[in-house]
Amino acid sequence: MEFNTLRGIRLGVALGLLAAGFASGPLAAADLVSHRAYYSLKLAAAESGHIVDVRGVTRMSLEKTCEGWILGHEMSTEMDTSRTTIKQVTRFTGWESRDGNSYSFAARNKLGRNSETFKGRGTLEGAGKGGAVTYSRPTDKTHTLPPGTMFPVGHLDWLVDQAMAGARQATRIIFDGNDGKGPRQVVAFIGPRVAPGERQSKDLGPLAERPGWSVRLAFYPVDSMVSVPEYEVQVVQLDNGVADAMVLDFGSFKVNLSLEKVEALPPPVC
């Protein structure tokens, strides 16, 4: 089994890639709500007999600060194979500046007895320009970031603008530092608006009682010529940045994430 079996939950997706209405008219800045969300995780489908069950919990957070945004992600899972049960724990923290040009991150991923840690900083030369990311762990190395690369929150704002302009497909390069593999090209397929009463959801309070959209995101290596993505994510994204539900599609198996609890985080005092 590959070490990164469930590690490919990109932060830009998990923390809300779409965060504003899809109405036509003037573009507006995303109005994200600082929040912490909890999800249950279970196997949705498996095409082979290698993975027979997946279960666990995930906590994700998006918190506004005076200087930028703090991203958080923690996931604990158990995966049953035909021979054994493998425990996996992933933790991630990121910080992105308000202008989207500076980014720092730290990730620790543990699968069974194996573990790896990633830590580094990224910078962009400006909107639409390239930059670089420098890792300090596990070893010193540098990735070039192509022109047009965005960090997670900057990508969120851009994708919101695309949606509000009426786009139904949007492609961009993003970097989050979650797995040490550099930036990814992400193709988003945006579905129609869904009102709160048009979807089945739990009574989780006002943060979850918002309109949203079904969005499918396909992840590719940068400059890839293949038509099959590394993996895909189907997300019911609410207009305040909360993800109501997700399906992680890794090809040979799929995992459901169901929202169980969401709570608002206090705004910063600047």
Give the pLDDT score at 58.
93
- Tally Cβ neighbours within 10 Å of residue 187: 15
Examine residue 76 and state whether it is found in any structural domain, yes or no.
yes
Examine residue 128 and state whether it is found in any structural domain, yes or no.
no
Specify the pTM. Answer: 0.83
Examine residue 132 and state whether it is found in any structural domain, yes or no.
no
Number of structural domains (the chain) is 1
Report yes or no: 50 and 252 within 8 Å, Cβ to Cβ. Answer: yes
Report yes or no: 22 and 29 within 8 Å, Cβ to Cβ. Answer: no
Report yes or no: 105 and 97 within 8 Å, Cβ to Cβ. Answer: no
Examine residue 258 and state whether it is found in any structural domain, yes or no.
yes
Give the pLDDT score at 178.
83
Amino acid at 48: S
Examine residue 19 and state whether it is found in any structural domain, yes or no.
yes
Q: How many alpha carbons lie under 13 Å from residue 131 in its C-beta half-sphere? A: 24
Q: How many alpha carbons lie under 13 Å from residue 266 in its C-beta half-sphere? A: 3
Examine residue 140 and state whether it is found in any structural domain, yes or no.
no
Examine residue 130 and state whether it is found in any structural domain, yes or no.
no
Mean pLDDT per 10-residue run, the chain (270 residues)?
47 42 35 89 82 91 92 91 88 93 93 89 92 91 92 78 77 88 88 78 86 85 83 84 86 89 92
Task: Give CA separation, 231 vs 81, 133, 134, 252, in Å.
Answer: 20, 23, 25, 10
The domain in which residue 208 lies consists of: 11-113+148-264
Examine residue 101 and state whether it is found in any structural domain, yes or no.
yes
SS (H, E, C) the chain: CCCCCCCCCCHHHHCCCCCCCCCCCCCCCCCCCCEEEEEEEEEEEECCCCEEEEEEEEEEEEEECCCEEEEEEEEEEEEEECCCEEEEEEEEEEEEECCCCEEEEEEEEEECCEEEEEEEEEEECCCCCCEEEEEEECCCEEEEECCCCECHHHHHHHHHHHHHCCCCEEEEEECCCCCCCCCEEEEEEEEEEECHHHCCCCCCCHHHCCCEEEEEEEEEECCCCCCCCCEEEEEEEECCCCEEEEEEECCCEEEEEEEEEEEECCCCCC
